[in-house]
Amino acid sequence: MSKIGSIARMATEMGLVVVAGHGLNYNNIFPFLNIKEVREVSIGHSIISRAVFIGLQKAVEDMIRILEKD
């Protein structure tokens, strides 16, 4: 298990809700998808930034495809 996964498990055991964000994007989100303790990811900035180049609908569809691979 990764260090982040270990800390997420410890935080959950302490009664905290674990969320991830601030810097997650289409490339670095993958490790977080396998940490069951991470209940939410904040990916809005990445989606909007990508949407400037490819459009909002395509940017959202691409992220949904990534999230559903889990």
- pLDDT reading at 1 higher than 70: no
Average pLDDT in the chain: 93
CA 44 to each of CA 7, 21, 25, 60: distance values in angstroms, whole numbers, following the listed order: 24, 9, 9, 9
* Confidence band, pLDDT 50/70/90 cuts, at residue 69: confident
Q: Dump strand ranges (E) for the chain.
A: 18-20, 38-41
* Cα distance between residue 32 and residue 13, in whole Å: 18
Model confidence, pTM: 0.75
Domain boundaries, the chain: 3-68
- pLDDT reading at 26 higher than 80: yes
Q: What is the pLDDT of residue 22?
A: 87
